């Protein structure tokens, strides 16, 4: 078992897609280990996406991610990072494979329904960004 961080983004929450996306990832073999609804502040969004600072879409991305509630969650299964990226599809829904979360539910390259960690190292950092050790383990250990 390994873990990754997913965020159902504000476009998908506002569009009433959160339940369908959660069902999709559970059907793909993931177990939800922690989950909450929150609304990111601007400093939180800027910190979470600090790796993209300087990219042309950074300001717009941070505005979008603070535009409404989102649902961060810790998902577990074997090869969680790689498998979740396969299940969600390419960043741009127009390029995402049929049947992937982004192909089914995303609006655009920015408003793309779901975030997923891109490496085990980033998964660790991103999980810790949203969830304390106690929140991640109290139900499971
Ligand atoms: P995510 O997986 O959350 O990681 C970074 C986010 O930046 C990405 O999903 C998109 O929401 C957004 N993003 C990446 N590239 C672009 C782009 N070229 N134009 C607009 N938004 C982008």
pLDDT in 10s for each residue of the chain, 141 residues:
899 999 999 999 999 999 999 999 999 999 999 999 999 999 999 999 999 999 999 999 999 999 999 999 999 999 999 999 999 999 999 999 999 999 999 999 999 999 999 999 999 999 999 999 888 877 776
% pLDDT > 90, the chain: 93
Cα–Cα distance, 28 to 62 (Å, whole number)? 29
**pTM score of the predicted model:** 0.96
Handedness of CA 67, 22, 91, 105 (dihedral sign): negative
| Ligand 1 mutation pick, 57, 64, 96, 119, max ligand atoms within 8 A of CB | 57
Ligand 1: nearest atom to the Cα of 111 = 11
Q: Is 4 in the pocket of ligand 1 (CB under 6 A)?
A: no
């Amino acid at each position: 078992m390994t873990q990754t961080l997913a965020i159902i983004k504000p476009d998908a929450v506002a569009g009433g897609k959160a339940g369908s996306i959660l069902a999709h990832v559970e059907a793909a073999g993931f177990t939800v280990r922690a989950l909450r609804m929150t609304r990111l502040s601007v400093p939180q969004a800027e910190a979470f996406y600090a790796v993209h600072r300087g990219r042309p879409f950074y300001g717009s991305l941070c505005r979008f991610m603070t535009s409404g509630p989102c649902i961060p969650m810790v998902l577990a299964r074997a090869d969680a990072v790689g498998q979740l990226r396969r299940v969600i599809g390419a960043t741009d829904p127009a390029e995402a494979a049929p049947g992937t979360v982004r192909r089914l539910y995303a609006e655009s390259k920015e408003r793309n329904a779901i975030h997923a960690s891109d490496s085990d190292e980033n998964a660790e950092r991103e999980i810790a960004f949203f969830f304390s050790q106690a929140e991640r383990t109290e139900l499971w250990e």
